């Protein structure tokens, strides 16, 4: 898997707790364990979720209208209508496009449900479904980090 999309991070680290500046160093972090699905440490990408929004599209207003048109009173009701992962995953912003808001309603509502169960860093299927413009505007990849801890 190519790591060309990983944005290098410049990190300063002191070689010891409170050590003198002569022992400080700077390293560029240019790789990640996320997306690795072979070897001893595995953190495979499970799924990409999110919408490919066009200029001026308001995902929150669109999804609230779609929710009402499909006969749901609130987003929380979607939890029982769609098959979604039942464990927590780590989220990372994706540079790849997501789904259109104009796909079939079931596709759009499942994506919105899963985005509503995400923070910027974590997908948690037991948290309340929270829709905000910010959360619905994300495109994220979900990674299973259980292979990291085995």
Per-residue pLDDT of the chain (150 residues; tens, 9 = 90+): 444 455 555 555 555 556 566 666 676 655 555 555 555 555 667 789 999 998 899 999 999 999 999 999 999 999 999 999 998 898 989 888 889 999 999 999 999 999 999 999 999 999 999 999 999 999 999 888 775 454
pLDDT of res. 1: 44
pTM assigned to the model: 0.72
Encoding tokens for residue 38? 């072979």
Whole-angstrom distance, CA of residue 129 vs CA of residue 66: 16
Q: Answer yes or no: is 109 within a domain.
A: yes
Q: Answer yes or no: is 61 within a domain.
A: yes
Q: Answer yes or no: is 58 within a domain.
A: yes
pLDDT of res. 50: 95
Does residue 47 contact residue 110 with C-beta atoms inside 8 Å?
A: no
Q: Answer yes or no: is 71 within a domain.
A: yes
Q: Answer yes or no: is 105 within a domain.
A: yes
- Give the residue among 42, 50, 8, 33 at the shortest CA–CA distance from 136: 50
Q: Answer yes or no: is 66 within a domain.
A: yes
Q: Which residues of 135-149 are buried (b: 16+ CB within 10 A; e: fewer)?
A: bbbbbbbbbbeebee
Whole-angstrom distance, CA of residue 150 vs CA of residue 53: 38
- Give the residue among 140, 146, 150, 148 at the shortest CA–CA distance from 47: 140
Q: Assign 26 to helix, strand or coil.
A: strand
Beta strands in 30-134 (DSSP E): 45-50, 89-93, 122-123
Q: Answer yes or no: is 20 within a domain.
A: no
Encoding tokens for residue 74? 């609130």
Q: Answer yes or no: is 13 within a domain.
A: no
Reported as a single tens digit per residue, the pLDDT across 34-50 is 555 555 555 667 789 99
pLDDT of res. 60: 96
pLDDT of res. 131: 97
* Total structural domains within the chain: 1
Which residues constitute the domain of residue 74?
45-149
- The sign one gets for the Cα dihedral 82, 88, 90, 91 is positive
């Amino acid at each position: 898997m190519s790591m060309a999309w990983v944005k290098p991070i410049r990190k300063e680290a002191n070689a010891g707790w409170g050590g003198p500046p002569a022992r400080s160093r700077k390293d560029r972090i240019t790789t990640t364990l996320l997306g690795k699905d072979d070897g001893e440490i595995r953190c495979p990408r499970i799924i990409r979720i999110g919408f490919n929004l066009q200029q001026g599209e308001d995902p929150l207003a669109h999804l609230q209208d779609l929710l009402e048109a499909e006969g749901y009173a609130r987003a929380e009701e979607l939890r029982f209508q769609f098959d979604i992962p039942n464990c927590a995953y780590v989220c990372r912003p994706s540079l790849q496009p997501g789904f259109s808001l104009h796909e079939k309603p079931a596709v759009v509502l499942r994506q919105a449900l899963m985005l509503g169960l995400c923070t910027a860093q974590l997908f948690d299927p037991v948290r309340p479904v929270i829709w905000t413009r910010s959360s619905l505007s994300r495109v994220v990849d979900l990674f299973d980090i259980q292979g990291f801890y085995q």
